[in-house]
Structure 1
Amino acid sequence: MTTVTMDGVSRWFGNVVAVNDITMTLEPGVTGLLGPNGAGKTTLLHMMAGFLAPSRGTVTVGDQPAWRNPAVYRQLGLVSEREAVHGFLTAHEFVLASARLHKLPDPVAATAAALDLVEMAQFKDRRIDTYSKGMRQRTRVAASLVHEPQVLLLDEPFNGMDPRQRMHMMELLHRLGAEGRTILFSSHILEEVEQLSGTVQVMVAGRLAASGDYREIRRLMANRPHVFAVASTDDRRLAVALMAQPSVAGVELAATGLTVRASDYGGFTRALPKIALKEGIRVSRLTPSDESLESVFSYLVEA
């Protein structure tokens, strides 16, 4: 069983810090790397795969350094977010090329087994440029698995997959993790991580913001303060009534309406209609004003 260890790892490009002082160890099983776009997930994966040198700190795969060490690729597979697949090749030819690069003793048999794993055997002789995005993704996963690596790194692997393809891929990764392989996949969608991972690493702005069981991460996200923009026929009277609610942490009154900071999302959304009805106030607008992924994840940094 192979672990991946990052110790005090940072990476910067000029004056831009992409990854900032991250320490983590990936154990056998499936781990989700969760964060908004631009959080540094791809940079982190590329350092684990030996494509980038850390500006500071160390990355090891097993007991070997990842950087400038081709030997790690005997036990590591990578599916990058950016496609690099020649469309004129068939899936069989593409995966076979990977098998031959790894100098496998029987590359043809290994290719057939890898394509069968991702349910691409029946399409193996079609050109890749005739595939859907989901089929191309599965072909790339097959190429990364052909040498049966102990470590598998996947960057946004479910992009373009339909629901059935996604379910099959999740089952496959579960099975590989249960066999003792170390699997890390990145995503900006919490539901993907929930379905696959016991452990979640959350990245925000290059930093490790939270780490632990996905249920705990979900609880932190659900329980964070929520901000709503509210407009009504009597904002001042509504503000006074809302301030008496235990689910409301603060209210700001402006010419454009109210900004309400709710400490309990469910409590506030249940209380507002009752208050409006009791006070004879008509609410014309209620919109979450902080529902971007960036705001959700950034809350974890401060939690």
Structure 2
Amino acid sequence: MSLVRIAKVSRWYGNVVAVNDVSMSIGPGVTGLLGPNGAGKSTLITMMAGFLPPSTGSVTLDDVPIWRNERAYAQIGLVPETEAVYDTLSGADFVRANAELHGLANAGAAAATAIATVAMEEAAGRRIATYSKGMKQRIKMAAALVHEPSVLLLDEPFNGMDPRQRLHLMELLRKMGAEGRTVLFSSHILEEVQQVATHIEVVVSGRHAASGDYRAIRTLMTDRPVLYRMRTSDDRRIAAALIGDPCTTGADLDAEALHVQVADFERFSKLVPGLARELGIRLHEVSPTDESLESVFSYLVGGKR
């Protein structure tokens, strides 16, 4: 199991600050690096891959600096956002060349295994120039996996993929995370992160905005109550009981449901079942109306600049 740690890292280009005092730890499983375009995601991934030194701070793999550390490079697989392929080569030759660069004893067999992993066997003999954007993404993935790295870094890997390719890659990332590999992928598309990642790191304008699963991130926003929709056998009575408790900050009742603003989710989740039993009220629905990652991301981008 591998742990990538970023400690108080900043990176600037002249007067432009791309990453500003970021700290985070990326461990086994699938982590989504979420943020809008220009947030600093690619810069962070490039530093984690060992291709760029931080201006200040440290980036380590299992507590050893990654920059100019050949042993660390051998444990890392990178799928960059840029094409980073040789169009004149076939897919098989490109992946085999990467295997040879890693000094693998049986480069041909390793390349064949990696190509099969990304389901590119049929197209492997064709020149990369003939590939679609999604196919180029998959052959880059094979090249990154050819030496069986313990850490896999992917920068916007779903760009250009059709729905079938996206589903296949999502399943592959979940499988590698379940095997204990440290997998990190960046995205500005919320649905991708929500479907694949078990852990989320959010960066906004070069700063680290939040960390956790998206529900945990949402509960950190104590200044913005979560809105819950409730349907019960007696909405009016349970609303009156809930309004008297400090875990709620307001309630609205309409013809379809009761809408409750919850400031303390942990207390609310324990209080509601007890109140229902005490008052003899049946609970038909208790669900958040804004617990989506879209809501979390919109809040962080709008409120954390």
TM-score by length of 1: 0.74
Instruction: Report whether the alignment pairs 1:155 with 2:158.
Output: no
Q: What amino acid maps onto 2:47 in structure 1?
A: M
Shift in Å, 1:214? 2.2
AA aligned to 2:165 is Q
Equivalent pairs, count: 241
- Who is 1:301 aligned against? 304
For 1:37-52, list aligned pairs within 5 A. Answer: 37-52=37-52
Matched, 1:124 2:129: no
- Superposed displacement of residue 216, structure 1: 3.6
1:33 corresponds to 2:33: yes
Q: How does 1:59-208 map to 2 (within 5 A)?
A: 59-208=59-208
The Cα of 1:298 is off from its aligned counterpart by: 2.0
TM-score, structure 2 length as denominator? 0.74
Q: Secondary structure at the match of 2:129?
A: helix
Contact 1:155–1:187, Cα closer than 8 Å, also in 2: yes
For residue 122 of structure 1, give the secondary structure of its aligned residue in structure 2.
Answer: coil
CA contact (8 A) 2:66 2:73 kept: no
Which residues in structure 2 correspond to 1:207-246 (within 5 Å)?
A: 207-217=207-217
Instruction: Check the 8 A contact 1:35/1:297 in 2, yes or no.
Output: no
Q: CA RMSD in A?
A: 2.5
The CA distance in 1 between the partners of 2:219 and 2:24, in whole Å, is 22
Q: Distance in 2 between matches of 1:154 and 1:300?
A: 27
CA–CA distance in structure 1, aligned partners of residues 179 and 148 of structure 2:
11
Letter in 1 for 2:136: R
Per-residue CA deviation, residues 212-250 of structure 1 (Å, 9 max, x unaligned), is 1123446789x969xxxxxxxxxxxxxxxxxxxx89xxx
- Cα deviation for residue 71 of structure 1 reads 1.9
Q: Return the letter of the residue paired with 1:108.
A: G
Question: Secondary structure, in 3 states, of the residue corresponding to 1:137?
Answer: helix
Residues 210 and 300, structure 1, Cα contact 8 Å, conserved in 2: no
Native 8 Å contact 2:41 2:186 kept in 1: yes
Determine if contact 1:78/1:144 at 8 Å carries over to the other structure: yes
SS at match of 1:24: strand
Moved more, 185-194 or 67-76: 67-76
Q: 1:138 to 1:20 in 2, by over 3 A?
A: same
Output the CA distance in 2 between the equivalents of 1:297 and 1:87. Answer: 40
Deviation of 1:15 after TM superposition, in Å, equals 1.4
Tell me, yes or no, if the aligned pair for 1:209 and 1:300 is still in contact at 8 Å: no
**3-state SS, counterpart of residue 161 of structure 1:** coil
For residue 70 of structure 1, report the CA deviation from its aligned partner: 2.0
Letter in 1 for 2:13: F
The amino acid across from 1:212 in the alignment is G
Matched to 2:125, the amino acid is: D
Alpha-carbon shift at residue 64 of structure 1 (Å): 2.0
**Unpaired segments ≥5 residues, structure 2:** 226-249, 252-260, 262-293
